[in-house]
Each structure stands twice: as structure tokens, then as C-alpha cells.
Amino acid sequence: MNQKFMYMTAMNVKRSSYTLHRIKASHLFYPKGALDSAAAVVEDRSVPPPTMAFRPGAPTHHWSTAVHQAHYTARNKIVCTDERGRAVLYDDGLQAVRMLLSLKKAKWQSVPLAVGDNLLVMEAIPKNDQEKEHQSFEALMYGERPKMFKGVDFLWHSIPPPPYVYAPGYGDDRSVVITACTVVNSSSILISTESLGTYCLDTVSGKWSKTGAWPLPFKGLAEYVPEYDLWFGVSAKGGGVLCASDLGAASAKQTPPPVFQEWEGFAAPEGTELGSHLLHLGAGRFCVAKSIMTTRPQETCCQM
């Protein structure tokens, strides 16, 4: 399915807020039949005006945003949560905002992942929920409300953390941070850490299993592309390199996934590259977004 729009959030440090920008995917590509030489032309364009702004109740609050591709409507929905676990949903098609129930527990450093019609929000460093009264994994689902209420609504559901959080000696060091994640078989997810390997969660049964002692070859979110029956994402090697891998075969055989091809990232503007992100737009088209930090000569702070 072709994606007509993609969404970008920009942080305004002075106002302590985020603005949401909707970009037409068709504007990112040359029309069919254009000369090959046209691809060498670099265009500098401004981001479209914001369609929405998200501002927390106090300047010290931080928001995490996630784009949720919902299949029960034809439009994208954006879910936002703050440090207290409060959540709102913005429907871009209706240009309407509605409050959601708060997360069961606030997430300080969250990793969002859309799984079918549901949105999974994970703590980057999962905790032992039984000992610390924490809720590391929660899923936003649209379904029947509790018996005391009538109708259907968006509800948060608790999901057990990966089993390695209960192992003796498990800590909060950086080697246990979830460095990569993706969806496999439409209802299962893979998460990866540098030191503990790769684990699989069946979101239907809620059961975890260990896929292998090796990490995924990606950094951040990897996306399945049905046109090639492969997963694409930013390589764990760094440097903005893009790569493709067959995670389905690796999961079935519990063997390290092979990397079939790698592509060097395009030349970044002057400054320090903070990270790269790959978004699949359908029909074999991709968008690569890079975050660049530059320093203005006559100012003391850095502008991202």
C-alpha cells in the first residue's frame, strides 16, 4: 500500500513543544520518465507549515511521539505521551484531538512500534515489573471496554517484559538497551540488545522466546517490505549505512540473519550527523531522514 503522507515532529527548545509537519510523499520523487541526470540535482526546500503542535503542561515535561499507522481508518493517527503517562490521540484525517486513558506506568525512554492495528510502547531498558512496580511494555488496542462500561474504545493493555529481566545480575547498563526492533509474521515482534541477543514476542499469546544470542543487524526500527520479502533499515554498523536482511528465515532457523546488501547513506550537510531513519513508502520507495546538529558561529548553544 502506497503511503500518501509522512509525518515529522520538530522540537522547539525555547517553547518546550513539538510541531507536527505533514509531507506529501509524491513531492520527494521525480516523475516517471525524468532524466537520470536530474537525480544529481540537490534541492533545498523548507518543511511544510505545521498542522499541529503538542505542548506539555509545564516546561520541564518531555513528550515522546509515535506515528501509528491504523488500518481501521484511511488516515494516520498520532499518539503522544508525556512523562506522567498522559496520552492524547490526534486524527489527522478529522483534524481532531481526543484524550486517551493514561499509560499504566509512565515511560521515560520509550520505543514505539506499530503492530497491525495496535501500538506497542516499550521501555528502552525493560525493568523487572514484579519487583519495581513498573510496567515496561504496554499496547494500545481498540476493543471492548470493561464490563462496567459499554461500547469500544482505545485501551492500554499490560504486556509482560522479556524474560531476561528476571535473570540474576540483570542491571541498567547500556548493553541491555533495546537497540533494534521490528515486526515479523504480522503479529510477532523482535527486539535486540547488544549483550543479551534477540528475543521474540507473540503479541497474541503474550509469550516470549529467545531467537538467538546474536543482535539484529539493524539500529532502531526495521521495516518489512513485501515487494522484496526482506527487512530494510539502518545498519548497526553506524555511519548511516542502509541494509536489507531476511529476518523471517533467521527467526525460523534461529541463526544470525544474513545481510544481503548495503548502501552508503547520502552525503549529509555540514555538521554532526546524530542519526538516520528509513521509512518505507510503498511501491519500492523509501525515504531516508537524517538528524544533523550544526553550531552557529556567534551563538553559544547548538541548533538542531
pLDDT on residue 10: 84
* 200 found inside a domain: yes
- Considering the domain architecture, whether residues 180 and 61 belong to the same structural domain is answered as no
**Residue 180 Cα to chain centre, angstroms:** 10
Whether 43 shows a pLDDT value over 60: the answer reads yes
Distance (Å, whole) CA 1 – CA 45: 27
- Considering the domain architecture, whether residues 184 and 139 belong to the same structural domain is answered as no
Beta-carbon contacts of residue 172 (< 8 Å; ≥ 6 apart): 125
User: What DSSP character marks residue 129?
Assistant: H
Domain boundary residue, one of 161, 190, 223: 161
Give the pairing type, strands 197-202 and 207-212: antiparallel
pLDDT on residue 187: 86
Domain boundary residue, one of 111, 137, 161: 161
- Considering the domain architecture, whether residues 141 and 187 belong to the same structural domain is answered as no
Averaged pLDDT, 45-56: 86
* Domain enclosing residue 288, as ranges: 174-303
pLDDT digits (tens, 9 = 90+) for 137-158: 999 988 777 666 677 788 899 8
Return the higher-pLDDT residue of 74 and 179: 179
pLDDT digits (tens, 9 = 90+) for 223-237: 999 999 999 999 998
Give kind and range of the element (H or E) at residue 278. strand 272-282
**Number of domains observed in the structure of the chain:** 2
pLDDT digits (tens, 9 = 90+) for 158-180: 899 999 998 888 876 778 999 99
**Residue 253 Cα to chain centre, angstroms:** 26
52 class by beta-carbon count within 10 Å (0-12 exposed, 13-18 middle, 19+ buried): middle
* 49 found inside a domain: yes
- Considering the domain architecture, whether residues 125 and 223 belong to the same structural domain is answered as no
Distance (Å, whole) CA 63 – CA 86: 10
Whether 218 shows a pLDDT value over 90: the answer reads yes
DSSP state string for 222-275: -EEETTTTEEEEEBTT-TT-EEEE-HHHHHHHTSPPPEEEEEPPPPPPSSEEEE
* 117 found inside a domain: yes
Q: What are phi and psi of 137, to 5 degrees?
A: -125, 130
* 2 found inside a domain: no
- Considering the domain architecture, whether residues 292 and 199 belong to the same structural domain is answered as yes
